[in-house]
């Protein structure tokens, strides 16, 4: 099967999510697209301390509320967004090799071994 590509529409939608989360002052440590080969698709990972503090359902609620101002046609599909802990192994590993933070500092990572995790493809908007 052919792997799905991350296209400009996805990159723009992910940027809108990162910006909306910032505007809503949602505590976010990372926002990035990550290719998951086992599903042959990209997922938009949102690493937030809400997952650790209040659980994943509270994190998804905060994300959903932050995205209310974005038209549905300009958002990623809801099933493509994953709320994760800031201590997620991929997020922790990427912190060691990527410096992304302020707007305009997007970073693309391909075919990289991060600790014990192989990152086939990732597009990082925020990482702190």
User: In the predicted model, what is the mean pLDDT of the chain?
Assistant: 91
Q: Determine the average pLDDT of the residues in 107-121.
A: 89
Note the residue count of the chain: 128
Residues 70-109 have pLDDT tens digits of 999 999 998 999 999 999 999 999 988 876 554 446 899 9
Contacts of residue 54, Cβ cutoff 8 Å, sequence gap at least 6? none
* CA separation for the pair 1, 20 (Å, rounded): 34
CA 74 to chain centre: 16
Q: Nearest Cα to 15, choosing from 4, 23, 25?
A: 23
* CA separation for the pair 18, 14 (Å, rounded): 6
């Amino acid at each position: 099967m052919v792997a799905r590509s991350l296209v400009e529409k996805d990159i723009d939608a992910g940027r809108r999510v990162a910006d909306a989360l910032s505007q809503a002052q949602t505590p976010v440590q990372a926002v990035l697209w990550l290719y998951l080969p086992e599903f042959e698709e990209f997922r938009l990972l949102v690493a937030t301390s809400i997952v650790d503090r209040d659980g994943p359902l509270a994190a998804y609620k905060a994300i959903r509320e932050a995205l209310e101002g974005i038209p549905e046609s300009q958002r990623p599909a809801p099933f493509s967004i994953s709320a994760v802990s800031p201590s997620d192994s991929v997020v922790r590993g990427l912190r060691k090799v990527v410096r992304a933070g302020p707007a305009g500092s997007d970073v693309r990572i391909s075919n990289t071994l991060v600790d014990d995790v192989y990152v086939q493809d990732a597009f990082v908007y925020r990482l702190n």
